[in-house]
Amino acid sequence: MTPLSSSVPRLVIAAPSSGSGKTTVATGLMAAFASRGLAVSPHKVGPDYIDPGYHSLATGRVGRNLDAYLCRPELVGPLFAHGARGCDLAVVEGVMGMFDGAAGEGELASTAHVAKLLRAPVVLVVDASSQSRSVAALVHGFASWDPEVRVGGVILNKVASDRHEVLLREALDSAGVPVLGVLRRAPQVDTPSRHLGLVPVAERQAAAVEAVAAMGAQVDAGCDLEALLALARSAGALSCAAWDAAEALVSSPPPPLPVPSLGAAPPDPRFGPEGASSSNAGRAENAGLRSKGPGVRDPLKIAVAGGAAFTFSYAEHAELLSAAGADVVVFDPLRDEQLPDGTRGLVIGGGFPEVYAAELSANEPLRKAVSALAETGAPVAAECAGLLYLCRELDGMPMCGVLDASARMSERLTLGYRDAVALSDSVLAVAGTRMRGHEFHRTVVEPGSGAAPAWGVRAPERRVEGFVQQGVHASYLHTHWAAEPGVARRFVERCRTS
């Protein structure tokens, strides 16, 4: 890892609950500071893919996630340092309520947990629309609940009037937490939502740019930016080194378990802690990878789905693929009728194919190209939206037909972290590899797994899930490859040899 040369000033933006205005304030702060000439590093606590798109618009930099569940606590600091390298300031948007984390895991992956890992002061965003003096009790409770979390200020959101502001400030005088900003109700900063939260930036570029500009202007006018910057500079020094994709690939150890035959299900003990490996997946049987190092051979082309229908991806995935020797090329399944020339492997991440099912179905040439690539045995990695796209049909409309399964929208929201173990040797992992993932969808795939399932989900309930066939690995689980760098290396090696 590359040593961290300086301690980047940083703020964590938290709230008592979802819907308080964290995204408005965090994105507005990013835009306001960027407009003053600061290089601002944007971050989001948790697995969410959508908010980082708005952060990227505000800062001109890639929005990055800090997830202590998916990547484990020890990687939060290094991943932060990687993203914030060379920046004047980092703004970290929290998730849900400040102390809400992985279910049944205490503080793990909560905003408070990440703030402590980053030694960062917290700014609490409070929706003040339905309270006055009670705000003091609320702020006092959050500021005193965990003495290791330093709440350095509060920003009052949705304040109704000058009189309302006076009442709130008077109440907070006794709480010992300074008011660093007051924001009035402003419809122009609202962003539209639908079944899985905010509408992604890629689907509303012009409107999103206007909304982010409005957030920046509102925060600039209503917040004490100098006081907020001074608070950010009070963050404690980090002793970790910055994460580096190439170094992560080199340092990953080989798998401890034998590789079963393709499609074979492991014995039941693999679902138990004594049988599952928590070490890096896909550290490929080819031991020559370690001595040769990543990226020394000619790059090979890996196509990654993008555009409005496939917006969910962690930046570190492409960085790891590139470090492993791939030439990563983005294509848009809504517009492009063929895969990029020379494609050797395909990655289809998450997004909203259900919203664009008609357009995706209408692009028959690309559907046939994807199916033809899969039939050759080329590696194909698909998560959630990618899984739906590979199905025979989605809401009755033809898709790629790579998987003998149908998908449809559902009223039921499936949401949460998952503890899983690979059940079949695949292009991503050897059977027995333990990984953590996240599900977030309102769709159903029938059947939910194939003859060779991708994962055995251990928690919160035990079940099998996903498909492994030929070179295809398709699943609802979103995973973060920085936690298991060998996934990218194994995928690239399979692309090279398939």
Using DSSP's 3-state secondary structure scheme, residue 301 falls into strand
**Residue 74, Cβ density class (10 Å: 0-12 exposed, 13-18 middle, ≥19 buried):** exposed
Side-chain-facing half-sphere of 344: CA atoms under 13 Å? 19
Find all residues with CB under 8 Å of 476, minimum gap 6, and list them.
383, 384, 387, 414, 439, 441, 445, 465, 466
Alpha carbon distance 200, 183 (integer Å): 24
**Residue 3, Cβ density class (10 Å: 0-12 exposed, 13-18 middle, ≥19 buried):** exposed
Find all residues with CB under 8 Å of 231, minimum gap 6, and list them.
11, 121, 123, 152, 153, 180
Report how far Cα 374 is from the mean position of its chain's Cα atoms: 26
The answer to whether 480 and 469 have CB atoms below 8 angstroms apart is no
**400 in catalytic set:** no
**Tally of CB atoms within 10 A around 33:** 25
Q: Are strands 122-127 and 10-14 parallel, antiparallel or unpaired?
A: parallel
Closest residue by Cα to residue 390 from 363, 371, 369: 371
347 DSSP assignment: E
Find all residues with CB under 8 Å of 380, minimum gap 6, and list them.
345, 346, 347, 348, 370, 373, 374, 390, 402, 427, 471, 472, 473, 474
The answer to whether 399 and 360 have CB atoms below 8 angstroms apart is yes
Find all residues with CB under 8 Å of 449, minimum gap 6, and list them.
464, 465, 466, 467
**Residue 467, Cβ density class (10 Å: 0-12 exposed, 13-18 middle, ≥19 buried):** buried
DSSP H/E element including 69: none
Annotated catalytic residue, options 87, 240, 384, 495: 384
**Residue 300, Cβ density class (10 Å: 0-12 exposed, 13-18 middle, ≥19 buried):** middle
DSSP H/E element including 488: helix 486-497
Residues with catalytic annotation? 384
